[in-house]
A and B are shown apart, each in its own frame.
Chain A
Amino acid sequence: MTKTILTVDDSRTMRDMLHLALTEAGFRVVQAVDGLDGLEALDAAQADVIITDINMPRLDGFGFIEGVRKNDRHRATPILVLTTESDTTKKQRARDAGATGWIVKPFNPEKLIDAIRRVAA
């Protein structure tokens, strides 16, 4: 069955890039533009995996992850965080919020698919 990935990122460039890489790899993609939008899209998207940015307006990635984990239907949905190599404190904060893993930016499609495979059967 085609898996659905919810991508949450305020950058159109990053959204497009994720969309391209993910659809080429055969995933269905639902996009959200920030944390609040992501939480709203959650039920509709029925995502198998969520990929989220950290720095976003309105609601950042940490708040978004906490929100997902509070939602009974989605607390077991794997969440991957897009971060840069140097963001060690951010990684830790994201994990504390309930993130499953992370994708280091800039990513290539292979790394991306690899990361998804590590959290979704």
Chain B
Amino acid sequence: MDPLAAIKVTFFQECEEQLAELEGGLLAMEGGDHDPEIVNAVFRAVHSIKGGAGAFSLEALVRFSHVFETALDLIRGGDIQADQETLKLLLRSADVLADHVRAARDGGVVDEGRSSAMAEALEALASGMGGGGEADTGDGFDDFVFNPVSIDMSDAPAPADDSVAALLASITGGDADGGAGEADAPASDDAPSQTWHVRFYPQVGLYQKANEAGLLLRELGRLGEVAVRLDASGLPLLQNMNPEDAYLGWSADLTGPGIEESAIREVFEWVEGDCYLDIVREGAAPPVAQASGVDAVGDVDVMALIRAAQAAEVPAAAAAAPTAPARASAEAKATAEPAKAKEAALDAKAQAAAREASPQTIRVDLERVDRLIDLVGELVINQAMLTQRVAECGLQRASSVAMGLDDLEQLTREIQDSVMAIRAQPVKSVFQRFPRLVREIAAMTGKEVRLIMDGEGTEVDKTVIERLSDPLTHMIRNAIDHGLETPEEREAAGKPREGVVRLAALHRSGRIVIEISDDGRGINRPRVKQIAVDKGLISPEANLSDDEIDNLIFMAGFSTAATVSDISGRGVGMDVVRRSIQSLGGRINISSRPGQGSTFTLSLPLTLAVLDGMVVTVAGQTLVAPLTAIIESLQPKACDVRNLGPNAQVIAIRDTHVPLIDIGRSLGYRTVTPPPTEGVALLVEGEGGSRAALMVDAIQGQRQVVIKSLEANYRPVPGIAAATILGDGRVALILDIDAVMVPKPHEGGGAIAAPANGGLDTVGAPTSLAKVG
């Protein structure tokens, strides 16, 4: 990639970081954090974006960030109070700035009306500040003139030549070696030549700031032909001399066509105030003589002095350029061989320090990581097979081979964890989109909403993160649109006008749990139940618990919104959310308290590549049940099992009855169910929270298995989520718990299981876990 294009990519990456910083800072300020460093960071974020945008001539972005920066600078300086109103404006401006960044990156367009409205509001904010603002920071949008400077690296001139010859050439007008000054001299052959008399008397401050008289005179030489005379009359006796002081002055006659006074002033721009400078055009009235005694200009060889200063040979040169010895010694050190090695080492240290400040990352093709994960999966399987073979050979546990295998197993597990961690990313990358979403929905619905986020650093597999965005977006929309009341309703209910939506992520027993809660009105159960009855989703007689009623909203075709609103409508319901969570091997649950709000809880696997499974035997087949679905396993007693008909049984577990399902029959391995007392029942919980007891013949043990997609390698099989390869090399099928829990129509079954599982649609779509492997 062309280096400049690469930097542009970096710029846009950095913009994203700055935008996140900006938003985070503004939200912290909104939350009452008055740390000045936050305001500084917020200002810096916009300032950096503007800086880079300027370098790439992104005009619209520069313009908007300039207005934004101006307002932030006034807040930083304490000229504007950052009250809630102001912060809301700033947050919305941050959104517009983000739009500008993305438009600049992707070549899109920004909502011009919104952008200019926001720019105007920011200007109004800036100009409305008290105390008659002035100075440079107050310059408004309209006054701002942007001068794009194109960057063309091919035009870069050669670095400054430090040879004395070049110095000489440039000071004397640049004809010695073909004219060092030709490029920069604003000369035009047609313009009449004229002469300027320049008198230049440095003061001590000039040297203290590391400027050098000789270099400035050389610069002057680039404008035209120059003759320089040294005035050493101020030089005291050696014993009276302070080597740090300034004693010398110069007068120069500069001759050339079209030389403007401003060009000469520009040469001395950086030392203005640190020298006496006098510029007179020849023929103009001579200036009033200054104290320094201009008449005393002597015929000292200036070039020799400058050369001496460069090389630091003559002690007297210290007066002309007191900085020279220090630098010369630094150069001498740098050329010494041992110093070079040290330099390199220290350089590395400096770079290490630089790295420390910014997170140290490398970018790797995702394909390579996936390939590695695949290989590690094979390694895990191979290692398990090897262990089994060794066991079959009858080797002692304590034999060196078996012990070596134990180590191998340990290592394999660690490698697997480490490789999985490569794909892990903090949920922050999804969460950070939501503050804006919340602001926009709040504005659309006229509700007042505060979003609180927790656990953004919680890490989960990249694939999981990518597929979390849509369901979470939908749920947050719902929480605001349906969950929260209007400010007026809230006031009437004795609640603060501002509703709270909380988004939290945490790790819990090998899974990631995400909670979306609101402090709104909660689920209106009578209404939910009525809708479900009206739509024929449940029978009017169904006797449902509160939890079961709440979970009705996950059923396909269920929508509680009286009017399909612009925000959470679109014909997508919670059933879609539930299905997308399920396809990630996750579960979703709701708990709600009337008048106090609702909490949605998502529980997801950290990775889609491995699974903790219970290996079981059913009708001579080896199957794997996802451990996360299993609550407990038990040996059924004859007295606990009741028949509800020829093909349906329930089992009493403590004080409830759950359907008893024979896996062997569900999957078609057998037609006759053996007596339950001869097998083992796995009490499992489905996505909707409903339970069932799955009958298997025996439990072989728990094992982590590598998921291999059945869909990709064979075809979808109802009731089966995926496959894996066991230690003995045989393929074992992984159960799709939800699918096998749903009783087949002819088998009847409890009224409870059906609604809680969202109907029969999951049977035909055992998509859980099947997308990976």
Q: List the interface of chain A (C-beta within 8 A of B).
A: 1, 3, 10-14, 16-17, 20-21, 24-27, 30-34, 37, 40-41, 43-46, 48, 55-57, 69, 72-73, 75-79, 84, 86-90, 95, 98-102, 105-111, 113-114, 116-121
Q: Which residue, A1, A101, A116, A117, has most C-beta atoms of chain B within 10 A?
A: A117
Q: Are the CB atoms of A44 and B347 closer together than 8 Å?
A: yes
A26: B residues at CB distance < 8 A: 158-159
Please, how many angstroms separate the alpha-carbon atoms of A114 and B267 in the complex?
11
Q: List the interface of chain B (C-beta within 8 A of A).
A: 3-4, 6-7, 10-11, 13-14, 37, 40-41, 43-44, 47-48, 51-52, 54-55, 57, 135-137, 139, 148-153, 155-160, 162, 167, 184, 208-212, 214-216, 219, 267, 269-270, 273, 310, 322-323, 326-327, 330-331, 333-335, 343, 345-347, 349-351, 353-354, 357-358
Q: Are the CB atoms of B4 and A113 closer together than 8 Å?
A: no
Q: Are the CB atoms of B354 and A56 closer together than 8 Å?
A: no
Q: Which residue of A lies closest to B156 (CB)?
A: A109
A84: B residues at CB distance < 8 A: 51, 54
* 8 new A-B contacts at CB < 8 Å, known A77-B210, A100-B209: A1-B334, A10-B44, A13-B55, A17-B7, A27-B159, A56-B44, A72-B326, A118-B270
Q: Are the CB atoms of A109 and B330 closer together than 8 Å?
A: no
Please, how many angstroms separate the alpha-carbon atoms of A108 and B151 in the complex?
5
Q: Are the CB atoms of B353 and A20 closer together than 8 Å?
A: no
A13: B residues at CB distance < 8 A: 7, 10-11, 14, 48, 51-52, 55
- Tally of contacts, chain A with chain B, CB under 8 A: 199
Q: Are the CB atoms of B14 and A12 closer together than 8 Å?
A: yes
Q: Are the CB atoms of A107 and B14 closer together than 8 Å?
A: no
Q: Which residue of A lies closest to B326 (CB)?
A: A76
Q: Are the CB atoms of A24 and B156 closer together than 8 Å?
A: yes
Shortest beta-carbon distance from A24 to chain B in Å: 5
Q: Which residue of B lies closest to A68 (CB)?
A: B210
Q: Which residue of A lies closest to B160 (CB)?
A: A117
Q: Are the CB atoms of A108 and B160 closer together than 8 Å?
A: no
Please, how many angstroms separate the alpha-carbon atoms of A88 and B272 in the complex?
13
Q: Are the CB atoms of B156 and A21 closer together than 8 Å?
A: yes
Q: Are the CB atoms of A46 and B3 closer together than 8 Å?
A: no
Q: Which residue of A lies closest to B270 (CB)?
A: A101
Q: Which residue, A16, A24, A41, A79, has most C-beta atoms of chain B within 10 A?
A: A16
A107: B residues at CB distance < 8 A: 55, 149
Q: Are the CB atoms of A78 and B211 closer together than 8 Å?
A: yes
Shortest beta-carbon distance from B219 to chain A in Å: 6
Contact partner, A89, options B47, B136, B219, B347, Cβ 8 Å: B136
Q: Are the CB atoms of B155 and A16 closer together than 8 Å?
A: no
Asked whether A109 and B55 contact (CB < 8 A) given A12-B14, A37-B353, A121-B160, the answer is no
Q: Which residue, A17, A40, A106, A107, has most C-beta atoms of chain B within 10 A?
A: A106
Contact partner, A57, options B41, B211, B345, Cβ 8 Å: B41
Asked whether A46 and B334 contact (CB < 8 A) given A10-B44, A57-B41, the answer is yes
Q: Which residue of A lies closest to B146 (CB)?
A: A106
B345: A residues at CB distance < 8 A: 44
Please, how many angstroms separate the alpha-carbon atoms of A6 and B334 in the complex?
15
Shortest beta-carbon distance from A14 to chain B in Å: 6
Please, how many angstroms separate the alpha-carbon atoms of A47 and B310 in the complex?
17
Please, how many angstroms separate the alpha-carbon atoms of A117 and B273 in the complex?
21
A sample of 13 cross-chain residue pairs with beta-carbon separation below 8 angstroms, ordered by A number, consists of A1-B334, A3-B162, A20-B153, A31-B351, A73-B330, A100-B211, A100-B270, A106-B54, A109-B152, A110-B155, A113-B157, A117-B219, A121-B214
Asked whether A121 and B212 contact (CB < 8 A) given A76-B327, A113-B157, A113-B159, the answer is yes
B350: A residues at CB distance < 8 A: 30-32, 37, 40-41, 44-45
Please, how many angstroms separate the alpha-carbon atoms of A84 and B144 in the complex?
12
B43: A residues at CB distance < 8 A: 55
Q: Are the CB atoms of B211 and A110 closer together than 8 Å?
A: no
Shortest beta-carbon distance from B9 to chain A in Å: 10
Q: Which residue, B44, B54, B219, has most C-beta atoms of chain A within 10 A?
A: B44
Contact partner, A20, options B4, B44, B135, Cβ 8 Å: B4
Please, how many angstroms separate the alpha-carbon atoms of A119 and B5 in the complex?
30
B353: A residues at CB distance < 8 A: 32-33, 37, 40-41
Shortest beta-carbon distance from B336 to chain A in Å: 11
Q: Are the CB atoms of A106 and B55 closer together than 8 Å?
A: yes
Please, how many angstroms separate the alpha-carbon atoms of A47 and B273 in the complex?
26
B51: A residues at CB distance < 8 A: 11, 13-14, 84, 105-106
Q: Are the CB atoms of A87 and B215 closer together than 8 Å?
A: no
Q: Are the CB atoms of B270 and A25 closer together than 8 Å?
A: no
A116: B residues at CB distance < 8 A: 159-160
Q: Are the CB atoms of B158 and A43 closer together than 8 Å?
A: no
Shortest beta-carbon distance from B138 to chain A in Å: 10
Contact partner, B335, options A1, A86, A87, A113, Cβ 8 Å: A1
Please, how many angstroms separate the alpha-carbon atoms of A51 and B731 in the complex?
64
Asked whether A11 and B343 contact (CB < 8 A) given A30-B350, A33-B354, the answer is no
Shortest beta-carbon distance from A120 to chain B in Å: 6
Q: Are the CB atoms of B209 and A12 closer together than 8 Å?
A: no
Contact partner, A33, options B137, B155, B357, Cβ 8 Å: B357
B326: A residues at CB distance < 8 A: 72-73, 75-76
Please, how many angstroms separate the alpha-carbon atoms of A40 and B351 in the complex?
10
Please, how many angstroms separate the alpha-carbon atoms of A78 and B334 in the complex?
17
A33: B residues at CB distance < 8 A: 353-354, 357-358
B215: A residues at CB distance < 8 A: 117-121
Please, how many angstroms separate the alpha-carbon atoms of A72 and B333 in the complex?
15
Please, how many angstroms separate the alpha-carbon atoms of A103 and B545 in the complex?
72
Shortest beta-carbon contacts, A-B, top 5: A44-B346, A41-B350, A76-B323, A117-B160, A101-B270
Q: Which residue of A lies closest to B12 (CB)?
A: A13
Q: Are the CB atoms of A100 and B210 closer together than 8 Å?
A: yes
Shortest beta-carbon distance from A113 to chain B in Å: 5
Please, how many angstroms separate the alpha-carbon atoms of A107 and B208 in the complex?
26
B214: A residues at CB distance < 8 A: 121
Q: Are the CB atoms of A118 and B216 closer together than 8 Å?
A: yes
Q: Are the CB atoms of A17 and B55 closer together than 8 Å?
A: yes
Please, how many angstroms separate the alpha-carbon atoms of A46 and B269 in the complex?
27
Please, how many angstroms separate the alpha-carbon atoms of A76 and B322 in the complex?
9
Please, how many angstroms separate the alpha-carbon atoms of A35 and B149 in the complex?
27
A76: B residues at CB distance < 8 A: 210, 322-323, 326-327
Q: Which residue, B160, B215, B273, B345, has most C-beta atoms of chain A within 10 A?
A: B160
Contact partner, A109, options B11, B41, B153, B162, Cβ 8 Å: B153
Please, how many angstroms separate the alpha-carbon atoms of A88 and B135 in the complex?
9
Shortest beta-carbon distance from A16 to chain B in Å: 4
B48: A residues at CB distance < 8 A: 10-11, 13-14, 55
A110: B residues at CB distance < 8 A: 155-157
Q: Are the CB atoms of A25 and B211 closer together than 8 Å?
A: no
Shortest beta-carbon distance from B4 to chain A in Å: 7
